[in-house]
Chains A and B, each alone.
Chain A
Amino acid sequence: MDKTVNQKAWFLVLPVFLVVAFSAVLPLMTVVNYSMQDTFGNNQFFWNGVGWFKELLDPSTDLGGRFLASLGRNLFFSLVILAIEVPLGIVVALSMPREGWTVAACLVILALPLLIPWNVVGTIWQIFGRPDIGLLGYALNAIGFDYNYVSNDVDAWVTVIVMDVWHWTSLVALLCYAGLKSIPEAYYQAAQIDGASRWAVFKAIQLPKMNRVLLIAVLLRFMDSFMIYTEPFVVTGGGPGNSTTFVSIELVKIALGQFDLGKAAALSLVYNLIILIVCWIFYTVMTNAGAERAVKEGAA
């Protein structure tokens, strides 16, 4: 569909532009401003230039050490949950019933964790994992594991990861299911005539058709897990020690806990920049895929 050029369309976009600019540009300018200054309280500010940024990227300083450690933890966390959620999501999508009321029932139950407030997700797992009152913690201890997410680093990590798998695998599954549903029946019939194996069908038909939604799923999950705050904060509070302190938790600690405005602002900017780069990849992928589809539909 050809779009006509019409500059007056800006009037229609203006409300959105103003609302988002008020919420995004103004605060971001304050952040840039703070990131160049130091404060000793009482609203006295001193020019610090790029000092915070230098410190941030230097692991030998306190700020840099904390930032890079939390960044490392966060990247590791994102990789682990992607490695679990993407294959699991595909398997679940392939396991969806084909028709009947069970489809709707499965969709509803799958979607349920996605609609629970994030702090309640934390609360659910906090309760579920406790060795004294939680089913999971109690059962694990009963069969001989010494499981306690409050005091043991590994247990805390496992809890946070399982929680994220619980919370978000459904999203990957639902996206893949949407991709699978768009495959015409004729493809499967052709495969059957060719005597293709189950694995061949998956590799040659289903996976290529899921390509785009999978990419969207991976990028969405990466960005969301990279910004994760509420769920681990409720369950572990970033501990034991600092073992589950991710970038957002570190940032909030510095900004709202210590009111170290300069440091927090510098961290915010670098953090935002990383997200922006991933976001740009996401956008390019989606618009390219949209253009490809339009070309194909135009040709058909």
Chain B
Amino acid sequence: MHSIPGRRLIMGLFLVFLLLPIYWLVNMSFKTNSEIVSTMTLWPHTPTLQHYKRIFTDESWYSGYINSLTYVVLNTIISISVALPAAYAFSRYRFLGDKHLFFWLLSNRMAPAAVYALPFFNLYSAIGLFDTPWAVALAHCIFNVPLAVWILEGFVSGVPREIDETAFLDGYSFPRFFIKILVPLIASGIGVAAFFCFMFSWVELLLARTLTSVHAKPIAAIMTRTVSAAGMDWGLLAAAGVLTIIPGALVIWFVRNYIARGFALGRV
């Protein structure tokens, strides 16, 4: 009654459609370049780890991963720490302009990155943060802070009010209540919010590329630049791509039930 006839077939075909391009990327990352260019093989006949080895030993490659991780982690920490108190405020209190503020946050989450590319470039150059991880971390706050507020607000609303009231009656000060009681209660929510901040900052390229030039260049930018300049090193490109998928693939199991919620800003 719940599902439709032929559902196994439909699901199977769709999953194959999703996995096939990813398989091709993985497949290619284990092939030698001569095998890629000369023959069409469905699996690597002469499997090699040379591309991965090159990425892990060549500083211009692995520094990209370090740069990316640096600004992503910075951004996640900033976003979650400013969003937590705000989520509590939105969940518990009514105050002047709260609805407008909530909408304004949402509108920033939806603003096209292309619009901000140029003004961010000017702004961060003017304050001397250009080409540092801080520039990208702060720039990504524009979409991650609203996201974190929206997701956390949902989780805070799930905590009964009586808990706050009891804590205050027991003589907890606000900061102490917040850290000792509220944060542990919504720990899973913080995990989910952190995961989404991490993910959205990790997948973004346009701002990250615009705000860095040499020292803080993210892996995504290195992939687009180096490869086209050095001719097409397909195997290396594929290996670099596979490595960027890994952080998401590692944690996906833990957040599988929250994916829809995160993308719908905590509203599902």
Asked if A111 and B268 make an inter-chain contact with CB atoms under 8 angstroms apart, the answer reads no
Asked if A252 and B22 make an inter-chain contact with CB atoms under 8 angstroms apart, the answer reads no
Interface residues of A in 256-300 (CB under 8 A from B): 256, 261, 264-265, 268, 271-272, 275-276, 278-280, 282-283, 286-287, 290
Complex: A227 Cα to B220 Cα, angstroms: 19
Interface residues of A in 94-144 (CB under 8 A from B): 94-98, 104, 106-120, 123-125, 127-128, 132-136, 138
Asked if A264 and B1 make an inter-chain contact with CB atoms under 8 angstroms apart, the answer reads no
Verify if B56 is at the interface (C-beta below 8 Å from A).
no
Complex: A27 Cα to B187 Cα, angstroms: 34
Interface residues of B in 16-67 (CB under 8 A from A): 17-22, 24-25, 28, 36-37, 40, 42
* Chain B 102-146 interface mask (CB, 8 Å, partner A; 1/0): 111111101111111111111100000000000000110110011
Asked if A12 and B241 make an inter-chain contact with CB atoms under 8 angstroms apart, the answer reads no
Q: Which of B111, B142, B261 is the one whose CB lies under 8 Å from A275? A: B111
Asked if A223 and B252 make an inter-chain contact with CB atoms under 8 angstroms apart, the answer reads no
By size class, the interface of chain A is 35 or more
Residues of B near A216 (CB, < 8 A) are: 264, 267-268
Verify if A213 is at the interface (C-beta below 8 Å from B).
yes
Interface residues of A in 13-37 (CB under 8 A from B): 13, 15-17, 19-20, 22-24, 26-28, 30-31
Q: Can you list 16 A-B pairs with a CB-CB distance of less than 8 A?
A: A6-B95, A9-B98, A16-B149, A19-B78, A20-B142, A23-B142, A27-B120, A30-B119, A96-B3, A115-B249, A115-B252, A117-B245, A128-B20, A128-B21, A171-B263, A252-B206
The interface of chain A, by Cβ under 8 A from chain B, is 1, 3-10, 12-13, 15-17, 19-20, 22-24, 26-28, 30-31, 88, 91-92, 94-98, 104, 106-120, 123-125, 127-128, 132-136, 138, 166, 169-171, 174-175, 177-180, 188, 191-192, 198, 201-202, 213, 216-217, 220, 223, 226-227, 229-230, 234, 247-249, 251-252, 255-256, 261, 264-265, 268, 271-272, 275-276, 278-280, 282-283, 286-287, 290
Give me 11 other A-B pairs in contact (C-beta within 8 A), A16-B85, A275-B112 excluded: A9-B98, A111-B259, A119-B205, A123-B237, A133-B40, A166-B17, A175-B268, A198-B5, A226-B112, A256-B210, A268-B114
